[in-house]
Chains A and B, each alone.
Chain A
Amino acid sequence: DAGVTQSPTHLIKTRGQQVTLRCSPKSGHDTVSWYQQALGQGPQFIFQYYEEEERQRGNFPDRFSGHQFPNYSSELNVNALLLGDSALYLCASSPSPGSGELFFGEGSRLTVL
């Protein structure tokens, strides 16, 4: 049973560019959430997708957007990259929005130069 998979694992961008990160949830899960984890910090909630809609959003600007596809996979897009966007971006899936338990992927390490 494949767990949560994310791609790419590492990427380097320059300020002002745009990035797209991808996530496939654990088999049987229909809810995907995205988190930003800065170095030495806990994960910060960006948003949650369920039934192809954004259900909840954390305190992140509109430069952060996402999408969920009919097969439950998801993308995170960040526009107009800033140096401060450098972080590990974690995707987590759960069997439903109200289950609470998160299964994380290995993350995508974004470096903005």
Chain B
Amino acid sequence: GENVEQHPSTLSVQEGDSAVIKCTYSDSASNYFPWYKQELGKRPQLIIDIRSNVGEKKDQRIAVTLNKTAKHFSLHITETQPEDSAVYFCAASLLSGGSYIPTFGRGTSLIVHP
């Protein structure tokens, strides 16, 4: 089955710095890669996603890049703010029998210091 590795497990930055979180996946058939943000005690929320026919996608301060050959994708957050502090999960999703089935990474705890 699919295996997703996520690094780093913890990332501490100063407000205004950039943050980068990296994920690798094992199954080349995965073709949908969402990122979720989970604040303490809250539900995971989708913040950005990318499909395998696209190399990069940007939404304001957040961007995601995908390298299909190397089977890795990354989340980039620029001009970080204290409210960006949360756990971020990447996922690699495989279409199986008409259903997308995601495999999640273990998460990265991002701490933004004011």
Looking at chain A's contact residues, the main secondary structure is: loop
Q: Which of A41, A90, A98 contacts B107 (CB 8 A)?
A: A41
A106 and B100 form a contact (CB under 8 A): no
A40 to B89, CA, bound (A): 11
A40 to B38, CA, bound (A): 12
* 0/1 string, B82-114, CB within 8 A of A gives 1: 000000010101011111111111110000000
Q: What residues of chain B lie closer than 8 Å to A31, measured between beta carbons?
A: 99
Closest to A3 in B: B43
B102 and A40 form a contact (CB under 8 A): no
Q: Contact size class for B?
A: 20 to 34
Q: What residues of chain B lie closer than 8 Å to A48, measured between beta carbons?
A: 99, 101
* B42 adjacent to chain A (CB < 8 Å): yes
A92 to B75, CA, bound (A): 22
A56 and B101 form a contact (CB under 8 A): yes
A40 to B105, CA, bound (A): 11
A positions within 8 Å CB-CB of B: 4, 31, 40-45, 48, 50, 55-56, 58-59, 90, 94, 97-107
